[in-house]
Structure 1
């Protein structure tokens, strides 16, 4: 039941943010359920991918996923995620935990900035697409002279480059990478934040499944019963986020998540080195 409970927490964190919520998964798996870092990363990849898929179904049904840009981004991430998994198998648990704590601090800093500057954008969450999300602009290439997304355009090259980075990070850390995917999509294609958040769900799903498959084929130990319960909790949490988002989403919640990330990062470093 503890696995389900932690999964619910991750589902809520993923669903009530536009990016970055899944970063809580690995610390909960390591320190809450006692998993070694490599197994925690693999379980996190599966849980985050399938929980994101839950949100991607609705976003796709409502036509909010920019499929062409999302697939270019995702395919690059699918290709590079196994590299992240292989890198994780070649370093110590101490290094993984230390680098993960550093990433948490970076994501927390971005959340602080977003909460202070973005205003209404902090209310855009993955669990419940806004009613006015269709008013967002679609995919327009920032790097192409004619403003169109072409497979041979600099825009596509930028999407591929960003996807490769996200894939390696996802495979290595077991995170969804939404904190990078959403701003990258908005910068490169100039799509609106609602569409970027929705499209990020597709990317997270595909990249996460690629990382999970790589971890399994690499021979990492997996407690499949625990993984299934953790995923079940994640789906419950994501569904709960639909109802709670209208009351909780906003700058205050972003500040709380950011403070929690910093506290967990400090805890991880203390546990590792003291």
Structure 2
């Protein structure tokens, strides 16, 4: 299973490099099901893996001028505040054993994995559906209040389940702020990197970190993002995105079945 886990780790980076988002949503399932890491600890490890990988991935976009720093700050600051609140107050407030129904016990780990799986199903829809070109170009970007609100939502999601939230950030940047897709992807990677690494720092006092395990997984994912970035110059990512979306959908449904019906 560990060999499978390390192989899946490189796929996380490849997917980030190829389609610019969505790959991080695989990190927690890989850690939980292939490496047998505790769910709450897996969300902490995921923050480091996703943050480090996204930071490396954002470097090439920064060199090419495809990062909007002002948008990253406007979106990122509310996210960081939400992550701090979530990691320090919301996540610890969830009891380890929530409810018992016959032979089924709803635990904190089960709740987090089901919530994660539902987000995977939601994210898969955005990947599977065909992108339509916006023909109305004279619409004004959304107000800062909407961006701040979106940043808060992403921060809560990142804090709870350790996912970068690129499946939420990129559509927000394109549809609300009208950023070009390449700039949206680059800006999203920077926001994900800052959010995730900040969330990891916020979690250091709450978890014992096994660096001898975490660093190799992270390095493998980083190698993956270089491979994905190279492949993106050879392969049309628009054709791969729906296929990856179907994979995420199936994985999300599997997690729901496993956590609720097979317990």
Compute the displacement of 1:84 (Å): 2.6
After superposition, the CA RMSD in angstroms is: 2.0
- Per-residue CA deviations over 1:22-80 (Å, capped at 9, x if unaligned) read 10111111001000111111111111111111121121122111111111111111111
Q: 2:237 aligns with which of 250, 258, 262?
A: 250
TM-score with structure 1 length normalisation?
A: 0.82
Q: Per-residue displacement from partner, 1:6-28 (whole Å, max 9, x unpaired)?
A: 32111112111132221011111
TM-score (norm 2): 0.85
Counterpart residue number, 1:75: 77
Q: Could you tell which deviates more after superposition, 81-90 or 57-66?
A: 81-90
- C-alpha displacement at 1:88, in angstroms? 2.9
Q: Distance in 1 between matches of 2:41 and 2:250?
A: 23
Contact 1:53–1:201 (Cα < 8 Å) also in 2:
yes
1:216 aligns with 2:204: yes
Q: Does 1:183 align with 2:183?
A: no
Q: Any conservation in 2 of the 1:4–1:231 contact (CA below 8 Å)?
A: no
Aligned residues: 241
Asked if residue 61 in structure 1 is aligned to residue 58 in structure 2, the reply is: no
Is 1:37–1:96's contact at 8 Å kept on the other side of the alignment? yes
Answer yes or no: is the 8 Å Cα contact 1:7–1:232 preserved in 2.
Answer: no
**Which whole-Å CA distance do the structure 2 matches of 1:200 and 1:255 have between them?**
20
Q: 3-state SS of the aligned residue for 1:176? A: coil
Other-structure match for 2:46: 44
Matched, 1:90 2:58: no
Contact 2:20–2:185 at 8 Å: present in 1 too? yes
* Residue number among 27, 31, 34 corresponding to 2:33 in the alignment: 31
**Is 1:173 equivalent to 2:161 in the alignment?**
yes
Contact 2:48–2:197 under 8 Å retained in 1: yes
Q: Which residue of 2 aligns with 1:237?
A: 224
Cα distance in structure 2, aligned partners of 1:188 and 1:255 = 23
Q: Go from structure 1 to structure 2 and tell me whether the alpha carbon gap of 1:53 and 1:141 turns closer, same or farther (over 3 Å shift).
A: farther
SS state at 1:64 partner: coil
| Residue ranges of structure 2 left out of the alignment (5+ in a row) | 95-107
Matches within 5 A, 1:145-156: 155-156=143-144
Q: Deviations over 1:77-115 (max 9, x none)?
A: 1111122324233330010011111111001111111xx
3-state SS of 2:233 partner: helix
Q: 1:58 to 1:93 in 2, by over 3 A?
A: same
